[in-house]
Structure 1
Amino acid sequence: MILDAVLFGHGSHEAAWRAPDACPAAPLELAHWLACARDAEAAGFDGLFLGDILCLQDHPEQHPSEALDPLMVLAAMAAVTERLTLTGTVSTSFNHPWHIARRLLSLHHLSGGRAGWNIVTSSYPQEAANFGWPEMPPTAERYEMAGDVVAAVRALWAGWDGIARVADKAAGRYLDRAPAPVHHCGRYGTTGGPVNLSPAPFGRPLLAQAGSSPEGLRFAARHADRVFTVQADLAGARAFRNRIRSEAAACGRDPGAVKVLPGLVAFVAGSRAEAQAQLDALSERIGLDHLLTKLERFTGLSLAGLDPERELPCGSEPLRANRFSNSRAGLLLEEARRNRLTLRQLATRFAAGRGHLMLIGTGAEVARVMRDWVDAGAADGFNVMPPELPSGISTFGRHVLPYLSERRRAD
């Protein structure tokens, strides 16, 4: 059971920055990230996962939206950890393959071979505007671009295959031979190479991907070592993992080499009542106006003028046609329909975990669900998204991991 800690600023909950003991500007300080890294390694996590978007989010005047470069943060984390995989997000839409190849190899060397690349295509219209694009291309075109860029990056890394770093001072010879130029010519990822850094002695960095659309699923099956997915029920998660494994086999890959890690938001404490109180305390601090703007963008629904206390009318297909994140929004809206959520309830659910699996209870209860998902073939592990940082990392480790330790050693 692979367990990575997903680090979002103050935590996965939208209102975490407003908690009484939170420092609003903490994610801009090195001490915050080093505390997260140390706590994750001490707790027994396997890795850290940092997301990223290349723009300010909606209404940055109402909530923290500033963000550090994830690879720079992970490089600092490498200095205070010894075994955690360090996976950072880099967009294929707005970065040249040569830069991606070297930045990831830099982290790989600084961490002793622990770097990972979360491959994203970017989706926000603000990101397109920041780089002078009139709009984001359609999903299919973004994934075509991503495939080309990943192929170029891998070609740059492979350009060092078979080259030994002999570092012979007496003979005055550093490499046994010079790397040849890398002639990768694609529609989006042309490069002449070579990159000026070898992966040796570590091999290539780990590749992760988080798309669950049909295009994203095919892309993950072809390229990813780990897939970060949004799944809120066991049956859907099992079907998704089966599709990924089937697609991987069709691409000639070993299906077992692709590990599927659903996101997990856990409110955990000594009793279920205490865990629920944690969620309730954060929910009371939600800024609904700001959150509804994000929810509109995420789902494509027009929420203006709707009564927050009435059931959300999300069953109309035309309202869903232009939603921001097709697969994730669909899962969230399906949950709203299934549970007949009001607009306020949906907004609260969205604020807590963006549609990811959310568990509220004791450590034993949370661990039982996690074991059930792995046993049922619905997951190979989880991307754990602590609601508050850094405190949520040690809380999860203290309450949940003791109930998983035997299982993880056996695996």
Structure 2
Amino acid sequence: MSKRKDELHLGAFIYYTGHHHYGWRHPESGAEKIFDYSFYRNVAKTAERGKFDMMFLADLLYVMGADQAAAGMLDPMTVMSALAVETTKLGLTATVSTTYNEPYNTARKFATLDHISNGRAGWNIVTSQLDTEAYNYGREKHPPHETRYEMAREFTEVVTRLWDSWEDDSLIVDREQARFADQTKIKEVEYKGQWYSTKGTLNVPRPPQGYPVLIQAGSSEPGKEFAASFGEVIFTAQQSLAAAQAFYQSVNSKLVQHGRQPGSLKIMPGISPIIGATEEEAKAKYEQLQSFIPPATVVTMLSGMLNFDLSSYPLDGQLPDIPDPVEASNGMKSRVQLIMDTARRDNLSILELGRRLIGARGHLQYVGTYEGLADLIQLWFEEYGCDGFNIMPPVLPGNLDEFVDHVIPILQDRGIFRREYTGNTLREHLGLERPAIGHFQAKQYV
């Protein structure tokens, strides 16, 4: 019996044909089908069969290294809209950047997805990472890290106000009296901030969930502050239970500072499991995946992430002293800090560090048995290191099927994960309240 009265939450995080950077080379990967809708349909059906809270679709706004790595992505909003008619319970979370979109378009698309899915939409709010993305949108440089979060706060404020522009009971559809809607309950949004402005009414009525679930990905201080203001789920990378517990406590203390209740933000770190019936089977799978990694790629990837040229340093040596790598980064600062901490803590060579990162992109990687993975998940959950996990299969589609077939039943037998869906919306799956009109308008950034 679990020590906690609440329920474990699970997201299926879908990234190319798996989270291992070179997992696409695996003979059982779906690499040939990442631009084929049937690939996503089959993955979604597996996630729903496993009773996952949500399927979480990544997005990147650039192409890089397509000669060696999986590259290019279908638009997540389009894919999720198609999946809305293929699934009935599974939450559908799409990643959409606040840096390279407009609030009105984003509000409209997510309201539409929430309507056609009957309340299963989630928005993974990101600020993007690279100058490459800026170039694609006709800009000379990617905005600085803190500026991006200032922009994101305004962007999200505008979006939530637009969702609120129709009250819940605005629609009348009275044919005899020729009244389609109650105009007194449809409001014009007038907002003028530093980065965004709008004047008008969203042309889609209020979403069934009030707002689609708001998810924030990142662990930097600006990211945590943003999550404490607007987030309802935070997707984070943590490498140990102690670090996860400290993060959990930090985020929940920030909720109180923002006038929110503990538990109103679900904390879901990523975990990439390489699993088997035995330790030997799991280790063999791990070694096979690691054998796909070209050593030269390690140097290129780490140099880019750390903003420091490592090409002249030996692969079997440790990282050199790099001056202020976190400060120098304009990408994911919390991930850069995690890389440096991991290298020092585990005394890793450049090659070992790079291969570990390529294996799970900086998230926790587990290699072991089905029971052992269930033990880890239960321990982190019961000891308040998280409220659940985003499962990051290293190779898709097979590793998600393996998790559903072998790990989900263990978690169910232990009484910490559902056997059947008890609700219909993503908010119901996550145990989140439906926001009232004006839920975030006390936090004004105008």
TM-score (norm 2): 0.88
Q: Give 1:80's aligned amino acid.
A: E
- The answer on whether the counterparts of 2:114 and 2:208 sit within 8 Å (CA) in structure 1 is no
CA–CA separation in structure 1 for the residues paired with 2:293 and 2:200? 49
- The answer on whether the counterparts of 2:29 and 2:397 sit within 8 Å (CA) in structure 1 is no
Partner of 1:395: 402
Alignment of 1:8-407 (within 5 A): 8-57=15-64, 59-177=65-183, 179-313=186-320, 315-318=321-324, 321-323=327-329, 324-405=331-412, 406-407=415-416
Q: Give 1:146's aligned amino acid.
A: A
CA–CA separation in structure 1 for the residues paired with 2:281 and 2:306? 31
SS at the partner of 2:173?
Answer: strand
> 315-324 or 112-121: which moved more?
315-324
CA–CA separation in structure 2 for the residues paired with 1:361 and 1:172? 65
- The answer on whether the counterparts of 2:51 and 2:90 sit within 8 Å (CA) in structure 1 is no
CA–CA separation in structure 1 for the residues paired with 2:220 and 2:324? 19
Partner of 1:408: 417
- The answer on whether the counterparts of 1:37 and 1:81 sit within 8 Å (CA) in structure 2 is yes
Q: What number of residue pairs does the alignment pair up? A: 409
Q: Give 2:91's aligned amino acid.
A: T
SS at the partner of 2:189?
Answer: coil
CA–CA separation in structure 2 for the residues paired with 1:344 and 1:124? 24
- The answer on whether the counterparts of 2:9 and 2:53 sit within 8 Å (CA) in structure 1 is yes
Q: Give 1:132's aligned amino acid.
A: G
Once the two structures are TM-superposed, the CA of residue 23 in structure 1 deviates from its matched residue by: 4.3
- The answer on whether the counterparts of 1:70 and 1:88 sit within 8 Å (CA) in structure 2 is yes
The structure with higher relative contact order (CA 8 Å, sep 6+) is 2
User: CA-to-partner distance for each residue in 1:147-168, whole Å, 9 max, x for gaps?
Assistant: 0000000110111125421223
Once the two structures are TM-superposed, the CA of residue 268 in structure 1 deviates from its matched residue by: 1.0
CA–CA separation in structure 1 for the residues paired with 2:50 and 2:295? 34
User: CA-to-partner distance for each residue in 1:178-236, whole Å, 9 max, x for gaps?
Assistant: 62211011111201121100124432100000121111110001100000001011111
CA–CA separation in structure 2 for the residues paired with 1:126 and 1:201? 36
Once the two structures are TM-superposed, the CA of residue 321 in structure 1 deviates from its matched residue by: 4.2
Q: Give 2:41's aligned amino acid.
A: L
- The answer on whether the counterparts of 1:98 and 1:193 sit within 8 Å (CA) in structure 2 is no
Structure 1 residues 221 and 319: CA distance shift in structure 2, 3 A: closer
CA–CA separation in structure 2 for the residues paired with 1:65 and 1:213? 26
Q: Give 2:23's aligned amino acid.
A: A
CA–CA separation in structure 1 for the residues paired with 2:344 and 2:207? 51
CA–CA separation in structure 2 for the residues paired with 1:152 and 1:97? 6
- The answer on whether the counterparts of 1:3 and 1:47 sit within 8 Å (CA) in structure 2 is yes
CA–CA separation in structure 1 for the residues paired with 2:255 and 2:325? 34
SS at the partner of 1:404?
Answer: helix
Once the two structures are TM-superposed, the CA of residue 343 in structure 1 deviates from its matched residue by: 1.4
CA–CA separation in structure 1 for the residues paired with 2:216 and 2:389? 14
SS at the partner of 1:232?
Answer: coil
CA–CA separation in structure 1 for the residues paired with 2:250 and 2:30? 42
Q: Give 2:116's aligned amino acid.
A: L
Q: Give 1:108's aligned amino acid.
A: D
- The answer on whether the counterparts of 2:301 and 2:354 sit within 8 Å (CA) in structure 1 is no
- The answer on whether the counterparts of 1:266 and 1:359 sit within 8 Å (CA) in structure 2 is yes
User: CA-to-partner distance for each residue in 1:278-327, whole Å, 9 max, x for gaps?
Assistant: 111111111333343222222223211222122333x4434554233211
> 172-181 or 242-251: which moved more?
172-181
SS at the partner of 2:31?
Answer: coil
SS at the partner of 2:368?
Answer: strand
- The answer on whether the counterparts of 2:298 and 2:351 sit within 8 Å (CA) in structure 1 is no
5+ unaligned residues in a row in structure 1: which ranges? none
CA–CA separation in structure 2 for the residues paired with 1:370 and 1:24? 29
TM-score (norm 1): 0.95
CA–CA separation in structure 2 for the residues paired with 1:319 and 1:90? 27
Q: Give 2:145's aligned amino acid.
A: T
User: CA-to-partner distance for each residue in 1:40-67, whole Å, 9 max, x for gaps?
Assistant: 111221111111121112x222222111
SS at the partner of 1:40?
Answer: helix
